[in-house]
Structure formats: structure tokens, C-alpha cells
Structure 1
Amino acid sequence: MSAYYEYPRRMSTTKNRAGIFAVLGAALCFGTTGTTQQLGVPDISPVAVASARLLCGSAFLFVFAYFQRKTRGDVRMPLLDLIICGVGIGMYQLTFFSAVHSTGIAIATVTALGSAPTLSAIVAYLVLREKPQKSWYLGTSVTVLGIILVGTADGVESFEPKGVGLAVLAGLGFAIFNVVCRKSLARGAQDMWLTATTFGVAALVSFPFLFTENPKWIFTTQGFLTVLWLGLVTTSIGYVLFMFGLKRIESSLAATVVLAEPATATILAAIVIGEALFLQSYIGIAIVALGILLTSRTKN
């Protein structure tokens, strides 16, 4: 879900194509998150699963960062910013898994992804005093409409305000991470090291939640494979691909390509988990996608 860093530079056709495929690969990785949770350990506390994912994912990210240590440079994220970003990512993980558990994969994914760019603009205004452009207001309105349609596709009485609220909080957590990280990236911080350290802090913040469930579930075959997939594929490989792609294509194009994430999550939820989807669901998802595209046209 990190499609809004700014890397304004011209890319050759080859680099552009590589960037598109990398972001697409990342979106496909991200899109398997909810299904993996529900298929692998549906009876385990979602916050315990989120904590285990962060521990595993941050460990692999530090491994990837180690292999890029020669290009790390001297620029580091300030400690306060690092803590804020870590709390943001921890908040995102904990609330997203809880939203999936509460309201289902499709609604949680679409709501979290749809709200992230809108909330990023709000956080950017509060933190960096960056005013959103006029198209942001249209994009936000369209996105909210789409989220309402997805959330009420099975009737208004089926609307889960708690689950949708948790998904919005997940979007806010990611927005905090996105905006605060952007300051250090603009100063020249290495993206891989920045991501690894941020997720490391998030793992520490979320660690107590691991014990909301007896951790022995991690050492079962099902639990181990679930955590491994969530940590290695949906976190580490996903973010490595995403960072690779964002260096080669503009953020507006990345925001378009990453829309494969809710599509992947929705298809997997229907086929693998058996979540009921309705025509209104697909219309709502399309409207959310349009809202994201409109919002991504702004500098935020």
C-alpha cells in the first residue's frame, strides 16, 4: 500500500517498463495479505498475526538493506521522525488485520487503500503545510462515495462501521508513514534502510500484541507458513519491488499500477475465501480506483 513517494525524473523506456512491472509485482504481493490471514490462521487474533508479520518482515528487510549497505550514505531519518513512522506502520498493520477480521478482505483493502492518499494530503498539510490542489477535493469525494458503495453492497444493514473505521485508521497509519518518510527521502536518505528501520520500530511497537494469543501457533506448520508468507512476500519482497519501481516511474503512474492490489484482494477473497461480491461491490471498487487516480494527480 505505499504508492505516493515523489521521484520526479525522466526514465528510459526500459527503466519505465521495469518500474511498471516492479510496482505491479508489489501490488500482487500486497493483494494476497488479507487472504493469507483468513486462509492460514482465521482463528488467531488479528493483532497477534500483524505483530508476527512485522517481526518477520522487518527481519527480512534488514537483510535486504544489508546487501545495499554500500549505497546507504550518511543521511539518516531523525529519531523522532523514525518513531513517528514506526508507530504509523504499526498502527497500519494492527488496524488493517483487525479490519479484515471484522468486515472482510475486499472492504478492508479497498477502504484502507482508498483512504490513504486522501489522508496523506491531510497529514501533509498538518505536518508540512502543503496545501492540496483543487482536484484533491474531487478525488476525495469520489473515493468516499466508492467506499460507501462497497461497504453497503450487501445492504445498508450489513454495513460494519467498526471494520470500515479500522480500515480508515489503517489508511491514516500509512499516510503518517508516507508523509514523514518523504521528508527524509527528499534529504537523500536511502529508501531501503529507511524502510527497514521504520519497520523495525513498528515491530517493537507491536511486539506486546503478539501475546494477545499464545505464540505457540507460530510454530505450527500452518502458522509458520502464514507468517513466512506475510513477512517475506507481502512485506519484504513487496516493499523491495515497490521501492525499485518508484525509482523508475513517476508516482502518478505508480498510483495507477498499484490499483492491481484491491483487484487482487477482491478476486482472491471471492475465489479462495468465498466472500460474496455483488455488482455494487465492483462499481464501488471502480469508483474508488477513479478517486485514487484523481487524488494522485496532486503533488501529495
Structure 2
Amino acid sequence: MRASYEYHRLMSTTKQRAGIFAVLGAALCFGTTGTTQQLGVPDISPVAVASARLICGSLFLFFFAYFQRHSRGQVRMPARDLIICGVGIGMYQLTFFSAVHSTGIAIATVTALGAAPTLSAIVAYLLMGEKPQKNWYLGTSITILGIVLVGTTNGVASFNGKGVALAVLAGFGFAVFNVVCRRSLARGAQDMWLTATTFGVAALVSSPFLFTQNPEWILTSKGFLTVLWLGLITTSIGYVLFMYGLKRIESSLAATVVLAEPATATILAAVVIGEKLTLQSYLGIAIVASGILYLSRKSSN
């Protein structure tokens, strides 16, 4: 009896550890997005880069989904929800890359990631009637304070309203994707197929933006490697790892581990790109992280 208990405990621990490492790997993949754009193709239109990333990423996601076709099941996301999700993730990609181009990697990443949980609660209320808990207001206030600190790190006069607004829109797009996808997952839809089809719609929606300038830049060595990394690593492998991890650990723990994303983005921005960060920047990032942790802990209770 004791041997059986020890076996199940070991299996549970192994499962959780695998989930943690998967989400951590996803966060590290996500965290390289802004740096890859700025290092690889800084002079290319950010919406063109976002569109190329979605097209490349969706192709790889469909490739991965093909190997799980036998476990796809019969549950499908309704066409209306699929379009909403695709538009949401398309908005996220287009506005996030534009925010990075406008206000820098650290501010864009922290703002988008910090806004997403707050906006998810608003979207869930509007679409599904889920009222936010009272503690949501405190968590949101903490997160907003952190975003303001990060955005005004070089003084109030340096606050880039356009860049921050774009990052908030990115957070809103991800919130729509998160809430609507969660509804279909709860009904039994397969996560891999759902993600692939959603990104496929997003690729179609964003495809006109690929031609905001001549797409010949993709055929250059830097352009090709940038799109390949963004599509394969930061999109396909990142989301596959994230979904794998979510099946094995609680969402609150996943929210904690995924905070490695802004940490990765900030470190790469400072070391590789040379973005200047002050004590206020790090304080703001810490406050945003605290707000996200508070929101995730309360939502899991």
C-alpha cells in the first residue's frame, strides 16, 4: 500500500516538474521575440514582421497538429469563436511588434503581459458574464502602477503614450484569445488543433500587412532567419510547450513560471540591444509581476 502511495507521489512530482520546465521553456521562447525583431530586421515594418511570423508560425503549428490528428476528437470551436480568436491573436501580434518598435522591448513586453490578466477579466465579463472578484481591483491597480513606473523610467516627459497604448491593445488581443479559447477547451476541444486553427485565421487576417513593404526582405539571410526563429521558436514551439505545461500544473503556478518571459526580454534588451534600464525600471517590473501573481492566485481560489 505504501509502495503504491510512493509510486503515485513520485509520478505526480515528475508530472509537475515536467510541466514547470515546459512552461519555463515557453517563457524563454516568448521572451526572445522583441530582441529577435530588433536585432534581425529593425528597419522592416513591424506589422510586416508580425504578419510573416503568423504565417510561418501557423504552418508549423498545423505540422505539429497533424501528428496529433488521431486524438483530435469531435469537439470543434464554433466558427464565430474561431474568427474572434483569430482576430484577437492577430491584433496581439500586429500591435505588439509595433509597440516594440515604438517604445522599446522592455516597456512593450511588460505592459502587454501586465495588461493581459486585467483585460482577460473584463473580456470574460463582457462575453461570458463572469464578474471579477473584489480583489481583482487591487491586483489591477498594482499592475497599472508597475506599468506607469516602467513607462516613465526616464521621466514623465519621456512617456511614450502611443507605444504603451499599442502594448495595451496587444494585451487586449491576447485576452480575447485567452478567454474565448478557454471556453472551447472547457468543452473538450483539442488544444493543439485549436491553437493551429486560431493562428491560421490570424495569419489570413494579417496577411495584407505583409505587403506594407516589398516582402523581398524575407528572402535575405537575416530576414529568413528572423522569420524562421519567430515562427518556429517563439510561436510554434513556445505554444506547444506552454500547452503541454498547462496540462500538468495549475494555472496559478503557470502564471508564476511564465514571468520568466519579461525577465528574459528585459535582460536581452539590455545586454543585446543596449536598452538603458534604471532602478525604477526594475522596480516597475517587480510591481507588475506582483500584480500578475496576485491576480492569478485569487483567480485560482
Q: Same fold (TM over 0.5)?
A: yes
Conserved 8 A contact 1:56-1:231: yes
Conserved 8 A contact 1:18-1:248: yes
The Cα offsets for residues 181-226 of structure 1, whole Å up to 9 and x where unpaired, read as: 1111000000000000000000000000000010000000000000
One-letter amino acid of the counterpart of residue 17, structure 1: R
Equivalent position SS for 2:113: helix
Counterpart residue number, 1:297: 297
Counterpart residue number, 2:98: 98
Counterpart residue number, 2:175: 175
Counterpart residue number, 1:214: 214
Deviation at 1:135, TM superposition (A): 1.7
Counterpart residue number, 2:257: 257
CA distance in 1, matches of 2:296, 2:118: 9
Deviation at 1:150, TM superposition (A): 0.2
The Cα offsets for residues 69-101 of structure 1, whole Å up to 9 and x where unpaired, read as: 111000000000000000000000000000000
CA distance in 1, matches of 2:54, 2:216: 17
Conserved 8 A contact 1:62-1:193: yes
Confirm whether residue 227 of structure 1 aligns to residue 227 of structure 2.
yes
Identity, % of aligned positions: 85
The Cα offsets for residues 92-141 of structure 1, whole Å up to 9 and x where unpaired, read as: 00000000000000000000000000000000001110111122111100
Confirm whether residue 201 of structure 1 aligns to residue 190 of structure 2.
no
CA distance in 1, matches of 2:134, 2:19: 29
Conserved 8 A contact 1:82-1:201: yes
Deviation at 1:299, TM superposition (A): 3.0
Deviation at 1:256, TM superposition (A): 0.3
Conserved 8 A contact 1:111-1:147: yes
Conserved 8 A contact 1:96-1:166: yes
One-letter amino acid of the counterpart of residue 210, structure 1: L
One-letter amino acid of the counterpart of residue 206, structure 1: S
CA distance in 2, matches of 1:131, 1:12: 33
Counterpart residue number, 1:81: 81
Counterpart residue number, 1:283: 283
CA distance in 2, matches of 1:296, 1:122: 15
Counterpart residue number, 2:35: 35
TM-score by length of 1: 0.96
Q: How does 1:15-26 map to 2 (within 5 A)?
A: 15-26=15-26
CA distance in 1, matches of 2:269, 2:118: 25
Counterpart residue number, 1:273: 273
Conserved 8 A contact 1:135-1:297: no
CA distance in 2, matches of 1:20, 1:135: 26
Identify, as 1 or 2, the structure richer in helix: 2
CA distance in 1, matches of 2:182, 2:32: 26
CA distance in 1, matches of 2:143, 2:281: 13
**What is the total number of aligned residue pairs between the two structures?**
290
CA distance in 2, matches of 1:210, 1:261: 26
CA distance in 1, matches of 2:158, 2:229: 31
Equivalent position SS for 2:299: coil
Q: How does 1:118-133 map to 2 (within 5 A)?
A: 118-133=118-133
Equivalent position SS for 1:299: helix
Gaps of 5+ in 2: 1-10
Equivalent position SS for 1:297: helix
The Cα offsets for residues 214-270 of structure 1, whole Å up to 9 and x where unpaired, read as: 000000000000000000000000000000000000000000000000000000000
Conserved 8 A contact 1:87-1:201: yes
CA distance in 1, matches of 2:274, 2:115: 25
Conserved 8 A contact 1:132-1:298: no
CA distance in 1, matches of 2:250, 2:109: 23
The Cα offsets for residues 4-29 of structure 1, whole Å up to 9 and x where unpaired, read as: xxxxxxx8110000000000000000
Deviation at 1:175, TM superposition (A): 0.2
Counterpart residue number, 1:8: none
